[in-house]
Structure 1
Amino acid sequence: MSDYASRLRSRMSAGTDQVDTDSPYAAIGTVSGSVQDEAGGRSPQGSNIRQYFAVFAATMGNLVMGTTIAWSGPAIPYLKKPPAEDGFNVTDNEGSWIGSLMPLGALVGGPLAGFLISKLGKKGTMFVSATLFTLSYLMLIVAPNVATIYFGRLVGGVATGIASLVCPVYVAEVAKPEVRGLLGSGVQVMVTVGVLVVICVGALLTWRWISIVCMVTVLIWAFLLLVIPESPAQHIANKKYREARESLEWLRSTIYIESELEDIQREIEESMATPANVKDLLKKQNLAPLIISMYLMLGQQLCGINAVIFYVVDIFSAAGSSIPASIESIIVGLMQVGSTILGALVMDRLGRRALLLFSSLVMVLSISTLGAYFYIKQNLDNQGLATRIQAVPVVSLSLFIIAFSVGFGPIPWLMMSELFSPSVRGMASSLATLFNWTLAFCVTKFFADLVAAISEAYSFWVFGGITFFTFLFSLLFVPETKGKTLENIQALFRSSRPYFLEIGVWRMCAGSGESDTQVLVHADDTQHY
């Protein structure tokens, strides 16, 4: 590699765009004239267009993941119909298993993704996920009985677990630091778009047609994957240095990528020099990011989002709404998409921690208000008061969904790909993903039992209490990663001082000036189109 790098630097200093004649590979993005400026020379700044396209192609997997998450919502009412109406007389218990088998399968898919990445790379692992999604939807399309639906949902869950890990990691590896927040939040944007697609289709078509439409999205994803390159970091990990350079040149639309390529190479080779094992996760520089990531996943799943979505129809009905249930679900889906896009647009300006704090605080207030409404309605026997405040639950619902979508929806996944060092990223991300889907399974399967045991009001208050502690954790222990390179973030955890002493609130207590919100890379400095 040192010989190849020296020849590259020699070529660059000579000011020529000649492709290395010793290379047996055809460069992806360095064909003469492909990135020329108006004067006929190479543009040293390049363009972000291909980077954005690669991220869109990868996050199409998250759109497919969203369709799988939402599939059971509109499908189960159709499945409860008799066989004469293309249903299976599904019971409530069978319906809960149809919904919860997906996160159960994701428990397998998360750890499996880490293994597949080490063998097949990010792009190859995304192809495996697309294949499993296709198999899942094929089984759902032709399902002759409930058992086939169970198996199809389980396979779809495995594919979802894989996609939920590999897609954010790919995005983090191909995105520039100054737009990593924007592009990383695209992961959750696409999940909400996938959910909205299923809700809209479910309002018009039966469960088999929902499955057909979902399979079309999988095929689109697979086609897009054919066009994009493997990430440069993955190529360097596999010691394919020419391919790494060609991939980065394609992504940046310029041959002037020496500094960035050397940074990626140094980071990867340093991590590979000391292969990671489970014990390495207990080291300070790895344990702190793991705890942060796990707690953010807990905050995401135990904030009560599934409970709130479950009661959408009841909340609208309480407000005196005569809108059909399917339209109400579409309204909620549109709110999720719009709010997640808003979060993506402001994330690299306001920062991750600011949005986490806003998100958790508003969710505490709104879900506690929902609990108070249900308590008044069900326990105080004061129908007059319940009628006078019937707009309160709709407002609380809207605020909750907006707050979740701008913060705890996208940011835990984004920060999972930012916090870990390359040496433990696969293992640690697998654990965080496994933990997330374990919680998702528990909430999906046992939320109805919780309501039956302690009522809706107390269930909402339990989620509100958990989210309050999430707010405190985010305030005190979550570092800001906005505008920082992955190397900057790792340096924070490798420092001899406890990392959280660099967080704003702790520095204020110590009377220090600057906090970890200081931006090291500015978006406006390098965005060119």
Structure 2
Amino acid sequence: MVCGIGYAWTSPSIPKLNGNVDPQNNPLSRPTTILEDSWITALQNLGAAFSPLFIGIAANKYGRKKTLIVFSLPMMVSNIILIFANSVSHFYVARFLVGIGTGCVFSVVPLYVAEISQVTNRGFTSMFLGLMITSQQLFVYVIGPYTTISTLAKISLIPSVLFLLTFGFFIPESPYYFVMIGNQVEAEKSLAKLRQKSKSDVLKELTDIIKSVEQSKTEKSSLKDLIKSKVVTKCLLTAVGLMFFQQFTGILAIVPYLQTIFDATNSSIPADVSVMMVGLVQFITTAITSRIVDKVDRKILLIASNSGILFSLICLGTYFYLQTNQFNVDAIFWLPIASIILYIICFNFGIGPIPWTIVGEIFPPNLKTHLNGIVTFLNIIFGFLIAMFFPTLSLVLGMALSIWIFAAFTAVSILFIVYFLPETRGRSFLEIQIMFRDGRSK
């Protein structure tokens, strides 16, 4: 939830900081520049790229639960700083801190959720990451334009407190982690609390977990051996490919700058209303996806998702092209918001959440934390580059060409999914490893 607030925060806040909207609510003594806006937006991603470097070590040594709790603290401090921020440097620090927690969210949450879930509902439970993020993005889109930056930060502290109280006191550690450190007694207790099933069923699942962990220990864990292992290399390339295309569909050029993009369209629909409509659609589609992700093949969802994104980006780029070249676009005033709504719908039922689901499934248990950290680091670096340079790119190349570049990457991503991505729905961790070893895609 805090991560979602961080990603959506820039949409209502950047126009306040640069003086385009409600200059009287700007906590700074002067409007921010385009470069400062870019840094404020992108520093969440830069901070998120920093934390995965330590996540693998922490999650393996201290456990998934303690790691999540510790890395939630910088996110709490971030909002405390925003309450009192009155200089650009304050916003830089706050955005970097929320990014540190964001890196932990995307490194550890998919891993933890996959490890505590059953095969039959692993896709469904993995969708809660996206559901919580989009619910808070909608929240920020609705109240952000009508509150000060300080008030929004105060409200944003609530999820941090709720997390520490609920997760800290009531949620068990991953049974996989306990098995990996040789504590089968605690692993059984964790499973019993998670499953609420008979002891025989718990012991049967515990046996499967032990087999999976023991199988994974045959894989070497040094960097040299990781490179030599064809199975691990295939898993890593698959995950990195998914994350690259997830970011280069342009999501971090769209969501953080929603209000700015809608302002640039000069549409008769107010920008803040358009943003709220997009946020509502984003939340609803994520909720729907959570119900179908275990019923429809991952590849089908991803192909349909990226095909819809490709169409929406072509349409949005066309609108800006016509507008820039002095065509009368009054008759298609609805096209920008329709295109972005279609984009959000398609992103949220496929390329947005499903790569995180797949990443939580495909890595060997003994290497998951290290490889998740690498994949998360690269995903966030890709996002940082887009968030940082999109404003400048759109000024230099124009909004139309910038958006069409994302469309080209999306077209390539469809080919990647069709020819290189294996299907993981309904398979155990051990079955997925065998599938990668044998080079099967179905």
TM-score, with structure 2 as normaliser: 0.93
Shift of 1:440: 0.9
Residues in 2 aligned to 1:126 and 1:162: alpha-carbon distance in whole angstroms: 7
Which residue is 2:116 aligned to? Answer: 174
Find out whether 1:415 has 2:358 as its counterpart.
yes
The within-5 A match list for 1:476-495 is: 476-495=419-438
User: RMSD across aligned C-alpha pairs, in angstroms?
Assistant: 2.0
**Letter matched to residue 253 of structure 2:** A
**Letter matched to residue 87 of structure 1:** L
Structure of larger gyration radius: 1
Find out whether 1:388 has 2:328 as its counterpart.
no
Change in 2 beyond 3 A, CA 1:88/1:119: farther
SS at 2:2 equivalent: helix
What is the aligned-residue identity percentage?
A: 31
**Letter matched to residue 77 of structure 1:** P
8 A contact 1:319–1:393 mirrored in 2:
no
Residues in 1 aligned to 2:65 and 2:400: alpha-carbon distance in whole angstroms: 45
SS at 1:203 equivalent: helix
**Letter matched to residue 364 of structure 1:** L
Which residue is 2:34 aligned to? Answer: 92
Residues in 2 aligned to 1:141 and 1:393: alpha-carbon distance in whole angstroms: 34
Structure 1 unaligned segments of length 5 or more: list them: 1-62, 504-515, 517-529
Residues in 2 aligned to 1:445 and 1:80: alpha-carbon distance in whole angstroms: 16
Shift of 1:437: 0.6
Which residue is 2:213 aligned to? Answer: 268
Residues in 1 aligned to 2:202 and 2:412: alpha-carbon distance in whole angstroms: 44
Which residue is 2:2 aligned to? Answer: 64
8 A contact 1:79–1:88 mirrored in 2:
no
The farther-off stretch of 393-402 and 215-224 is: 393-402
8 A contact 1:420–1:428 mirrored in 2:
yes
Change in 2 beyond 3 A, CA 1:320/1:152: closer
**Letter matched to residue 431 of structure 1:** I
The farther-off stretch of 148-157 and 484-493 is: 148-157
SS at 1:484 equivalent: coil
Does 1 or 2 have the higher relative contact order (CA < 8 Å, sep 6+)?
2
Of 390, 396, 418, 1:475 maps to: 418
Of 27, 30, 51, 1:109 maps to: 51
**Letter matched to residue 207 of structure 1:** I
Which residue is 1:160 aligned to? Answer: 102
Shift of 1:312: 5.4
How many pairs align?
433
Change in 2 beyond 3 A, CA 1:142/1:484: same
The within-5 A match list for 1:272-421 is: 272=217, 274-282=219-227, 283-309=229-255, 310=257, 314-315=261-262, 318=265, 320-323=267-270, 325-379=271-325, 381-383=326-328, 386-421=329-364
**Letter matched to residue 28 of structure 2:** G
Which residue is 2:127 aligned to? Answer: 185
Residues in 1 aligned to 2:266 and 2:147: alpha-carbon distance in whole angstroms: 28
The within-5 A match list for 1:124-143 is: 124-143=66-85
Residues in 2 aligned to 1:445 and 1:258: alpha-carbon distance in whole angstroms: 50
8 A contact 2:180–2:366 mirrored in 1:
no
Which residue is 1:15 aligned to? Answer: none
8 A contact 1:181–1:344 mirrored in 2:
yes
8 A contact 1:195–1:333 mirrored in 2:
yes
Shift of 1:445: 0.7
**Letter matched to residue 424 of structure 1:** L
Which residue is 1:449 aligned to? Answer: 392
Of 143, 152, 170, 1:227 maps to: 170
Shift of 1:88: 3.7
Residues in 2 aligned to 1:333 and 1:390: alpha-carbon distance in whole angstroms: 19
Residues in 1 aligned to 2:77 and 2:6: alpha-carbon distance in whole angstroms: 12
8 A contact 2:268–2:333 mirrored in 1:
no
8 A contact 2:303–2:418 mirrored in 1:
yes
SS at 2:295 equivalent: helix
Residues in 1 aligned to 2:158 and 2:171: alpha-carbon distance in whole angstroms: 19
SS at 2:333 equivalent: coil
SS at 2:127 equivalent: helix
8 A contact 1:275–1:423 mirrored in 2:
no
SS at 1:96 equivalent: helix
Which residue is 2:204 aligned to? Answer: 259
Of 427, 440, 460, 2:370 maps to: 427
Q: Give deviations 1:341-388, integer Å, cap 9, x for gaps.
A: 111111111121111000111111110122122222222x332xx333
Q: Give deviations 1:128-151, integer Å, cap 9, x for gaps.
A: 121121122222223342222211
Find out whether 1:197 has 2:144 as its counterpart.
no
Q: Give deviations 1:294-317, integer Å, cap 9, x for gaps.
A: 111111111022334435565588
8 A contact 1:80–1:87 mirrored in 2:
no
Shift of 1:91: 2.6
Shift of 1:479: 0.9
**Letter matched to residue 264 of structure 1:** I
8 A contact 1:319–1:394 mirrored in 2:
no
Shift of 1:72: 2.5
Shift of 1:77: 3.1
SS at 1:303 equivalent: coil
The farther-off stretch of 353-362 and 79-88 is: 79-88
Which residue is 2:181 aligned to? Answer: 238
Which residue is 2:408 aligned to? Answer: 465
8 A contact 1:67–1:214 mirrored in 2:
yes
8 A contact 2:306–2:414 mirrored in 1:
yes
8 A contact 1:65–1:164 mirrored in 2:
no
8 A contact 1:203–1:327 mirrored in 2:
no
Structure 2 unaligned segments of length 5 or more: list them: none
Shift of 1:481: 0.9
8 A contact 2:39–2:92 mirrored in 1:
yes
The farther-off stretch of 132-141 and 158-167 is: 132-141
Shift of 1:273: 5.4
8 A contact 1:97–1:445 mirrored in 2:
yes
8 A contact 1:358–1:403 mirrored in 2:
yes
Which residue is 2:90 aligned to? Answer: 148
Residues in 1 aligned to 2:140 and 2:157: alpha-carbon distance in whole angstroms: 11
Find out whether 1:76 has 2:14 as its counterpart.
yes
